[in-house]
Amino acid sequence: MLKMTHLSKVYRTEVVETYALRDFNINVNEGEFVAVTGPSGSGKTTFLTIAGLLETFTGGQYHLDGVEVSNLNDNERSRIRNEKIGFIFQAFNLIPDLNVFDNVEVPLRYRGMKAAERKERIMHSLERVGLASRAKHYPAELSGGQQQRVAIARALAGSPRLLLADEPTGNLDTQMARGVMELLEEIHREGATIVMVTHDPELAARAQRNVHIIDGQVVDLAEDPRFHHSVMAARANSPA
């Protein structure tokens, strides 16, 4: 589903080159739930934005659903983002001027979908996250957990092949975080491919597989003993 080979991302200024990703390799299969972990500044979010075609990369190859994306133009990249990828952000990133219904509608509008189909998909997505009754509410009228559920509904409405989540519970309290995580697990069980960036070992432990990044490279989790230990402990305590 997602394959990066010897990928690099370099930020250049006149005096210095900074490698955000270096010889980065990852392969995520269809239907997998992968947690991408690593310390702050390790390159997790850069990986996610490149994976989501929100940013270009400097070298290497990236195949998304079998398509090599490096030579795609803005229109093609936008179309792939719209049709194949769903985003869930730490800060929810709902548009404050739009109500819940209109927020979920945004990606469907760019797909040129007819009004009746849009409405059906929106209501279905909102029902799935338990917020159908809040369709006419504005983001400011919802709790953080509810806002994140709206963001998930928005990501799901377009039936994406790949769901990219960046610290999806980072701005939520424990109870709300648990609810959102359960929702992601449910979505995964229904067949979605999920790549979730997190620095939380407990969330990482609930994924099928853990990819750890340090200094822009994928490393064996054992190379970060403290984090490794935390993940192992969380897995051991997990009810599953």
Partner 1 sequence: MFAYYFQLGLRSLRKNPLLTALMVLAIGCGVAASMTTYSVFRATANNPIPQKSSQLYVPQIDNWGPEDAAENKGEPPQAMTYTDATNLIRDHRAKRQTVLYPVSLSVVPNDAGLLPFMENSYAWYGDAFAMFDIPFLYGSAWSVADDNAHADVAVIGRTLNDKLFHGANSVGKDINLNGHTYRITGVVDQWNPSPLFFDVVNTNAFDDTTEIFIPFTRAVDLKISTNGNNNCNKDPGQGWDNWIRSECIWLQYWAELPNTADADAYRQYLNGYAAEQQRSGRFHWAPNTRLRDVTDWLDYQKVVPQEAKVSLLVSLGFLLICLINTIGLLLAKFMRRASEIGVRRALGASRKEIYAQFLIEAAAIGLAGGLVGLLLTGLGVIGVGLVFQPDIAKLATLDVKLVLLTLVLAVVATVLAAFYPTWRAAQIQPAWQLKSN
CB of 223 to partner 1, least distance (A): 25
Q: Tell the residue number behind the tokens 């010897």, with chain if given.
A: 6
Contact positions vs partner 1 (CB under 8 A): 45, 49, 52, 54-55, 74-75, 78-79, 81-83, 87, 89-91, 93-95, 97, 106-107, 109-112, 154, 158, 166
Q: Which stretches does DSSP call E strand in 66-199?
A: 67-68, 85-88, 162-166, 193-197
Query: Which two three-digit tokens encode residue 112?
Result: 């040129």
Comparison of 94 and 129: residue with beta carbon closer to partner 1: 94
Comparison of 79 and 119: residue with beta carbon closer to partner 1: 79
CB of 238 to partner 1, least distance (A): 30
Query: Which two three-digit tokens encode residue 113?
Result: 């979908």
Which amino acid is it at 184? L
CA–CA dist 105, 82 (Å, integer): 12
Comparison of 33 and 92: residue with beta carbon closer to partner 1: 92
Comparison of 82 and 125: residue with beta carbon closer to partner 1: 82
CB of 169 to partner 1, least distance (A): 16
Distance of CA 81 to the CA centre of its chain: 12
Q: Would you report the helix, strand and coil content of the chain in percent, each value rounded to 5? A: 40, 25, 35
CB of 220 to partner 1, least distance (A): 27
